[in-house]
């Protein structure tokens, strides 16, 4: 559902790369992540978007593709959206993990198609690969051991750290 929306948004994200400075896009996304996660960590519950339906899902998918094409951050919006839909942790995971994986693959193909995947890109990917595998293994180990509230807090903390990282490093 959101994956097909991402396919529509990715070309628009690539167009953003042509005219917007990547540091400004990343900093803007970082500020939004900091504001969203901080606000929701201080609130007892996330605001709910239960009635958004297929139109909301598709809209988030298109925006996710746009963000993925422009920044490579193709999993953040589905993660936030699933939380706003007030879905249980397992339902959220069943939606945002395959959506993110499909979006990352489509983004990689699109970036490669326009020549943005260079040997330096591959080198940086290989440098980050151990951290990716470690995070995945940690997620598998923790799955089912966190209650809903703790799961929500962990997701919001990870979004906050991502936002801070984007703002501080400018990347």
Q: pLDDT at residue 36 above 70?
A: yes
Q: What was the pLDDT predicted at 31?
A: 94
Tell me the pTM. 0.77
> In angstroms, rounded to a whole number, what is the distance separating the alpha carbons of residues 145 and 54?
31
Of the listed ranges 23-32, 82-91, 117-126, 128-137, the least confidently predicted one is: 82-91
The kind and range of the H/E element at 154 are helix 148-169
As a dihedral over the C-alpha atoms of residue 134, residue 139, residue 142, residue 145, rounded to 10 degrees, the angle is 180
- Number of other CB atoms surrounding residue 164 within 10 Å: 16
Domain boundaries, the chain: 2-117+148-169
**CA gap 114, 15 in Å, rounded:** 11
pLDDT in tens, 2-32: 567 888 899 998 888 888 887 888 898 899 8
| 44 band by pLDDT with thresholds 50, 70 and 90 | low
> Chain-centre distance of CA 95, in angstroms?
12
Task: Please state, in angstroms and rounded to a whole number, the distance separating the CA atoms of residues 45 and 59.
Answer: 23
Q: pLDDT band at 62, cuts 50/70/90? A: very high
Q: Is the pLDDT of residue 167 over 80?
A: yes
Closest Cα partner for 17 from 151, 139, 117, 152? 117
């Amino acid at each position: 559902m959101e994956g097909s929306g991402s396919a529509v948004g990715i070309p628009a994200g690539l167009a953003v790369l042509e005219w917007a400075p990547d540091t400004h896009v990343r900093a803007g996304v970082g500020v939004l992540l900091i504001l969203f996660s901080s606000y929701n960590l201080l609130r007892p519950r996330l605001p709910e978007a239960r009635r958004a339906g297929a139109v909301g899902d598709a809209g988030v998918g298109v925006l996710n593709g746009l963000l993925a094409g422009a920044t490579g951050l193709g999993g953040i919006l589905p993660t936030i959206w699933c939380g706003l839909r007030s879905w249980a942790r397992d339902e959220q995971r069943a939606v945002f993990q395959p959506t993110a994986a499909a979006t990352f693959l489509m983004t990689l193909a699109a970036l490669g198609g326009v020549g943005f995947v260079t040997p330096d890109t591959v080198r940086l990917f290989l440098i980050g690969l151990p951290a990716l595998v470690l995070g995945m293994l940690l997620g598998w180990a923790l799955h089912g051991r966190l209650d809903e509230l703790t799961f929500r807090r962990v997701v919001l903390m990870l979004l906050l750290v991502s936002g801070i990282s984007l703002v501080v490093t400018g990347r």
